[in-house]
Structure 1
Amino acid sequence: MADRFTTREDCIEMLQEAYKRLNRYPKKSDFTVEEVAAIKSFLGPWPRALEAGGILPDRSAEREAEKKQKRIAAKRRQTQYKIERQKNNRKDETVNEDDK
Structure 2
Amino acid sequence: MTNASTPLDRIFQALSDPTRRAVVERLALGPASVSELAHPFSMALPSFAQHLRVLEGCGLVVSRKTGRVRTYALEAEALSGAQDWLQGQRDQWTRRLDQLDHYLLQMKET
Question: TM-score, normalised to structure 2's length?
Answer: 0.41
In terms of fraction of residues, the more helix-rich structure is 1
Greater Cα radius of gyration, structure 1 or 2: 1
More strand by share: 2
Higher relative contact order (CA 8 A, sep 6+): 2
